[in-house]
Amino acid sequence: MNNRESGGNSILKFLAVIGFVAAVAAIAYAVYRFMTPDYLEDFEDDFDDDFDDYFEDEDDSPADAVKEAVEDAAEKASDVAEDLKEKAGDAVDELKEAVTE
């Protein structure tokens, strides 16, 4: 019976050693992943910044285009209002002259 117990005992020891090596390897891998910097993340950030700058220079946003259109329309409306004021003033002057004559 002693042979059976030692055979089972040696298998248990072998599995314990394998488990211990696997646990040490897992801890070493976790420390390695935690300690090494993520170079890809830095590269993606730099790329995104360059990519955004390229398109910001070329195109205006739709909101900016709408804002410019509204400002242009307001300026034209102001010019038309000034012209109407001048014409109304001229018409009032002519009417005063006609009444005084």
- pLDDT tens-digit series, residues 52-94: 555 555 556 777 888 888 888 888 888 888 888 888 888 888 8
Rounded-to-integer distance, Cα 95 and Cα 76, Å? 28
What is the arithmetic mean of pLDDT over 21-39? 88
Does position 44 have pLDDT exceeding 70, yes or no?
Answer: no
What pLDDT does 25 receive? 96
Predicted TM-score (pTM) of the model is 0.37
- Which spans in 1-101 are helix H? 2-35, 39-58, 62-100
* Cα–Cα distance list, 41 to 37, 49, 50, 91 (Å): 9, 13, 14, 72
User: How far, in Å, CA of 59 to CA of 69, rounded?
Assistant: 15
Q: What is the band of 17 on the pLDDT scale with cuts at 50, 70, 90?
A: very high
- Please check the confidence at residue 1 and state whether its pLDDT lies above 80: no
Alpha-carbon gap, residue 31 to 35, rounded angstroms = 6
